[in-house]
Structure 1
Amino acid sequence: MTQLLNQALYQNSIDLILEQLNLDSAFFKTLPRFQRMNYKATVRFLSDYKTHSDEQSSQKVNNSLEALHHLCTIPEWVLTDSTIITIFELPIAINPSTTNLLIPLSEYLSFKGSYQTLLGVTQEIIDSLKTSSKILNDILLLKAIALSSLNQNPIQVFQILQEISATSHPQSLQHIKANCHLAMYQVSLGNYQDGIRNLQKWLVIIDENLKHQNLAQSDFQLDDIKTGMLEILAYYEMNASHFDQALEIYEQVISLRKERGLIHRIITPQVHQGIILRRKGQYDQGIKILQNAQEKAQQINDIQAQVFIAHHLGYIYLNQRNLTEAKKLATIAFEGYKKLDDFRGISDCYEQLGLINLAENDGETAIQNFKIALEIRQTIFNLHGTASCLLDLALAYWYQKQILKSFFFLIKGFQSYAQVGILNGVRFRRMLKIAYTWILGRPN
């Protein structure tokens, strides 16, 4: 988890690793040539990490990843499992030209959207570890985070998190983190009934541990994951059209993260505040908040956030019928999500492009884009997104005067929204307003 890091502390950790690697020369000569080469490579890459300044983040990342790779190719490790965790926690500057914030290597890879890299290195480590390894669950959790962020193979994500929960001590940090991530993942996929119930359960457990300091050495991590759970709770409240509650929780998340100096993690909740203002019809305020978030994202070179913001700014301009600007931003977001291999983001863009097509009176292309979005969302088990696409198709077929098909998708869409538990009066009125706007071309 993210933590403000002490550079000197981790330099000392590297020194300790290098000292452990300083094998007796007589013993070293008895090793197979392949193992000697990998020991030497590990020493070289860790030594190189020390020589690079914080301004050379990419070199530090490459050195750390290469060191992990060479450790994994050595059948009998001289080092303890904790060495791997130490390397994963080596500090990397997120954007040295604008901030001195250092975050762990594992967090840095997520921050940069390098989930394929994180997935690859965790799998390599898992393949090398013994099943009795004390850190196996820690590495499995990182793998689950990478998979869930890529929006690929949700079944495997659930299996990994459930495995960690089943094999860890019920009062351990590993157990708590696995169950918290499981609850958050359920909510993110639109499984609100199970997800919110689990989210509330584990928020209580985290508060109890923080109150009694049951895991005092891990208070920062518990506090950190709590803000993540509050953020996903706000996401649910937003999608349930409880806008004031969502705004309040997002503000709480931003405040807590500011207190901890986690400036790179206040952008996403701020973007969601802008999304809520758009849904409330407060477009000028929404644009102001999103543009402010965009400036922050640019300052720390947060590419994922910049793509996310472009997508939602595009929606505001679409609502204002500024189709030229909406299409420009939608295209930027679409290309950005493709570069990030983010299937969820890609599906969101297909839906957005479909709505732009409708506004341009191009019903056929709109239907094609909605169908692509629907297929992706069904594949990644995005229940809420699936329901949204079904109603999009109902709207598009009505626009095309294919009334029977329109009613078919309308019924399926309402059924899907009812299943995820967010078909309420506010949402129903918003659906009617959207349909009225798109069919008659009137903003109010």
Structure 2
Amino acid sequence: MMQRIVARSLLFGSALTLWLTGCSQPASPLAADPYAGGTSYPWAYTAPPNQLTPLSLTAGENNLYYEPILAARNSWGPVEIDRSNGEQAAGDGKTLTLNGTTYARGFGTHAGSELRFSLKGTGATCDRFTAQIGVDDEVGEKGSVVFQVYLDGQKAYDSGTMTGASVTKTVNLDISGKQELRLVVTDAGNGISYDHADWAKPLILCQATTPSLTLNQSALSVYHLHTASLKATFASYKAGPIDLQLVADPAEQPPGGTRLPSPVVLQTTSLTLSGAGAETRDLVFAAPEKLGFTNYSSAFHLLVSRNGQLLSRVPVQLTELPINFTASVDPVAVSGRSGEMKTLLLTVTADPPLDQAQPLAVGFQMGTLDGSEIMSVGPVSGDGARMQAAVTFQFGTNPSGPVETNQLDVGIRVGEITTGYRDAFYGSRPSFHLLYTLLP
């Protein structure tokens, strides 16, 4: 109702003032025949800043009578609301009438004229514009005009030439995804005499919209110390910032227990949306903390909110995976006498690669009873995908005398990633086997 009062007061109460101050020529006394002679009495209007909102359309049927006009112009005094153009003064028109049918709502204009509206809906998606158009009965069969409709600056409808004798036409346009509506009337190229043009019962039809969020996949795995992304499509959201939050699925809460903190975190905690019909963004997840004893997997919900109001909620399964390390040694078999030392080349690979090479060290040695062991691991070369270091192996003692071949199982620590309790429990700890022969 407030919009209606504001719009009507601006176009009725202030129309004459706007005309007198904004026209290209001063007002003049009414002529004996006000519809003839090609005389023009131009009028123009632009909505004052912050006085009329362009975001007023709501779900359902919206009569443009109730919508704020962003800008208007007319060639025979002010545009009239809910009455014909009449003469040059504001409010001097009659009931809108086309071929004997009267209309309670609409705009009375005069070629050339223009009305501009926003199609941005509040909680709605507008998909249709309809109107009844024609030359008002007040000029009889005279007048000749062309009605045109522009959507986002592109002409979407042209009535062709219509006169006072023409049958009323119906405009029915798909306006899905459009942002601006312009209603234009031209003089059909023969001057503006008698060109009283009515936009009767102009309606904007809109559908209620609920913001929605869809993910390109319902589950995501993130490697330890790495990130991974989901593509999220936001539909029917208003323009502006949104907040994103990851919360545990209550169904996975241990009965009477405490849920362990998730090692997978959401890095994309806020976005700014453009307000387009649907837009897709990348959401980044990370696994920055130490990996536990086993692979981690749990159900979550991704929440989208604005100013504390929940807008969307979707489930997602998140899993943290260990980095796949492999270790090998070259050569894989050596022979030597008691106390002798051999230098081997240790290679460790990481999949997916690490950001940089990590120090390598012996985590455990198993299988030897004669004292043979890896004595040291040298400095590391290479990158985060492939790391190499020299390894010193020392033969133990062969108390029995005959030649004896044994196997040494060696676990490798990769920096801080597999240090400590994870030497034994890391899901993909690297290890290698060395065959060695003690000679007499």
TM-score (norm 2): 0.21
Work out which of the two has the higher radius of gyration on C-alpha atoms and give 1 or 2.
Answer: 2
Higher helix share: 1
Higher strand share: 2
